[in-house]
Amino acid sequence: MKLTRILVIPVLLLLAGAVSAQNNAGKTDDVGRVALTPFIAENSNIPTASSNLMRSKMRAAVTRMGLGTSACGRFILTLNADVVSREITPTAPPMVATVLSPTFYIGDLSDGTLFASLTLPAVKGVGQNEEKSYMQALKNINLNNPDFAKFVGDGKEKIIAYYNTHIDFIIKEADALSGKGEHERALALLMGVPTVCADAHARAMKHVGTVYQRKIDQESAEALARATGAWAASPDATGATEAGEWLAGVHPLSSSAPGAAKLQSEMKSRVKELADREWTEQVKQNREEAALAQTAMQAAKEIAAAEANRPVYYTTVLSWW
């Protein structure tokens, strides 16, 4: 399978977290598990009509083996199926018989590193036309066998080794993303370090709190500035209502929390009739809920899960498949 320069549509750089061990993850969420993205290249031999079929087969196979799957990810499981033979059967009506040689690959889409490959025994499909015979042959590929399980296991070990040896770079990349205001991607990157990589995972989780604090500080500072501006522009009931809506976005654990409390107190003293208005209650409710429920780790996990299906575009040269 020869891939030249391609632009991948939905491919994120990782994702997700759980606290259970990889081999016992079962049907828990994929955050924290080694994850593979089932992927079919546009210039592979797989017909477009068969792409969804094969992605589903691959997703089911890796899930059975305890790995996570993501809609978008840098570590991919893909295949190409070369046509060994194709002939018209001497039947009435005549049918097309296609024999395929399927080869699977696990690799890093971001830099073109191949981790593992496996060619399975040839499969045959018969259909009314070439496309249907090809699809039938793909359906006959057996992914529930020891060879495929070993292949996926080898790929998993290579991915684990990647995280263990690249944790310093992962943390630096997360810091760089956070420094550009891309806190969600930074948290997703850190939360994506699998729990089976014990030391690397511990270091990544330790850094989650730092990145999360930057996120809430930045967002809360922006919200407080908006609230302050709204109140300065209109120091009356209308301005207080608008400012209150912005204050609801100030996280109680952020560095802007004291300033938000001070502004709210000022507005209450100047516009006393607003003390029991709905916006005041909403601000109070939001703050109580955030303080009780959203620890940094919980919030980071939610953010990472939300980021799992956001596309990140890789333009890379894959010369090895």
pLDDT digits (tens, 9 = 90+) for 168-189: 999 999 999 999 999 988 988 8
% of the chain exceeding 90 in pLDDT: 49
Find the DSSP H helices in the chain: 48-64, 130-139, 146-179, 183-191, 198-233, 237-247, 257-270, 278-293, 296-307
**From CA 214, how far away is CA 216, in angstroms rounded?**
6
Return left, alpha or beta for 264; rule: phi > 0 is left, psi -120 to 50 is alpha, else beta.
Answer: alpha
**From CA 217, how far away is CA 256, in angstroms rounded?**
7
pLDDT band at 295 (very low <50, low <70, confident <90, very high): low
Q: What is the mean pLDDT of residues 125-153?
A: 94
Please tell me the least confidently modeled range out of 95-99, 196-200, 292-296.
Answer: 292-296
pLDDT digits (tens, 9 = 90+) for 189-220: 898 888 889 999 999 999 998 999 999 999 99
Q: What is the mean pLDDT of residues 231-256?
A: 92
pLDDT at 234: 94
DSSP SS3 for 184: helix
- Confidence check: pLDDT of 293 > 50: no
- Confidence check: pLDDT of 316 > 60: no
% of the chain exceeding 70 in pLDDT: 76
pLDDT at 290: 57
pLDDT digits (tens, 9 = 90+) for 47-90: 888 888 999 999 999 999 888 876 667 889 999 899 999 999 99
What does the mean pLDDT of the chain come to?
Answer: 80
pLDDT at 286: 59
pLDDT at 311: 55
**From CA 29, how far away is CA 120, in angstroms rounded?**
30
pLDDT at 1: 40
pLDDT at 195: 87
pLDDT at 15: 29
pLDDT at 43: 72
Q: What is the mean pLDDT of residues 248-254?
A: 89
- Residue 14 or residue 311, greater confidence: 311
- Residue 223 or residue 310, greater confidence: 223
Q: Residue 321: exposed, middle, or buried by beta-carbon count in 10 A (0-12, 13-18, 19+)? A: middle
